[in-house]
């Protein structure tokens, strides 16, 4: 019989001259040690002691150091003659004075570089235009410009360009209908079946149907802009087709306060109107619009 720490080999020939028969139950008694992690500590009297850990078949756990004991090392016992115990140092390691001085020098250099970078960022954010007595406008926005006088140029995407003047025109809506793209009606909800019918007004008792009055245009929109700097208006038309292709920029505006009041004066413009819905012999006595008597054509 041959055996080692990893197993054994049983011969068929027995020492007494007999042989082992196939499919025979063989009982073997053996002892083995499970792996364990021990802790080497130093007690308060200066004596070195070993605290045995709990043995486990796999992944043994090291014990905790008791109170008033200083952990020095962990010893992992595998109990194999071919492998030495694994020792892990847990004691406090002293750092030499030369290493401490080198670390202190590195920390000082790091603080100096950080201070220089902070000063540089602070100078760029607070005074980006004045450097060594020379005034420079980076053309980021209109903050560097004098808003008290009318500016004859516009700042767009970091460049100083000629301004563009915009004039707003309202689209003419044909026949009083909204101007839309070509479309086709599509049934979204349909009920083709019914269960019965009834007369809503069987006695034909109702008020006369009022006439239909249509104004063209029915709603008037206009925009009034008062500014001394034409950069905002120029920026809107600068990226138009045929002028210049530029990258799209996104800006965020925070409204600090706002107020609304009625306009003191309205602009004058012509308004066309048409009236329909009268019977054949029905006569129109009076027609007013906002308190003003209006006489339509043909009356």
47 token code pair: 């004596």
d(CA 232, CA 252): 13
38 token code pair: 């021990």
pLDDT in tens, 86-138: 899 887 778 889 999 999 999 999 998 888 888 777 666 665 555 555 566 77
CB-count burial class (<10 Å; 0-12, 13-18, 19+) for 35: middle
d(CA 218, CA 272): 9
How much is the pLDDT for 149?
87
Q: Residue 242: is its pLDDT beyond 50?
A: no
Q: What size, in residues, is the chain? A: 299
- If one compares 36 and 169, the residue with the highest pLDDT of the two is 36
The pTM assigned to this predicted structure is 0.31
**Neighbouring-strand partners of residue 131:** 134
């Amino acid at each position: 019989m041959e055996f080692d720490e990893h197993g054994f080999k049983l011969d068929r020939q027995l020492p007494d001259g007999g042989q082992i028969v196939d499919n025979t139950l063989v009982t073997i008694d053996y002892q083995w040690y499970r792996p364990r992690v021990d802790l080497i500590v130093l007690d308060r009297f200066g004596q070195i002691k070993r605290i045995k850990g709990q043995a486990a078949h796999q992944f043994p756990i090291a014990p905790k150091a008791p109170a008033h004991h200083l952990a020095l090392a962990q010893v992992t016992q595998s109990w194999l003659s071919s492998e030495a115990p694994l020792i892990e140092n847990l004691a406090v390691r002293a750092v030499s004075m030369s290493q401490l001085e080198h670390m202190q020098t590195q920390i000082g250099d790091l603080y100096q570089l950080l201070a220089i970078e902070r000063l540089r960022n602070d100078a760029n954010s607070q005074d980006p235009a004045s450097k060594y007595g020379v005034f420079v406008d980076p053309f980021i926005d209109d903050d560097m410009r004098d808003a008290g006088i009318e500016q004859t140029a516009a700042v767009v995407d970091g460049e100083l360009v000629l301004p563009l003047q915009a004039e707003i025109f309202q689209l003419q809506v044909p026949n009083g209908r909204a101007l839309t793209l070509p479309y086709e009606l599509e049934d979204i909800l349909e009920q083709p079946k019914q269960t019965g019918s009834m007369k809503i007004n069987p006695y034909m008792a109702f008020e006369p149907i009022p006439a239909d009055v249509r104004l063209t245009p029915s709603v008037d929109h206009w925009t009034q802009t008062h500014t001394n700097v034409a950069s905002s208006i120029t920026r809107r038309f600068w990226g138009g087709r045929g002028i210049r292709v530029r990258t799209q920029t996104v800006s965020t505006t925070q409204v600090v306060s706002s107020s609304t009041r009625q306009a003191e004066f309205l602009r004058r413009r012509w308004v066309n109107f048409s009236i329909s819905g009268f019977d054949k012999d029905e006569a129109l006595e009076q027609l007013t619009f906002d308190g003003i008597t209006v006489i339509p054509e043909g009356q």
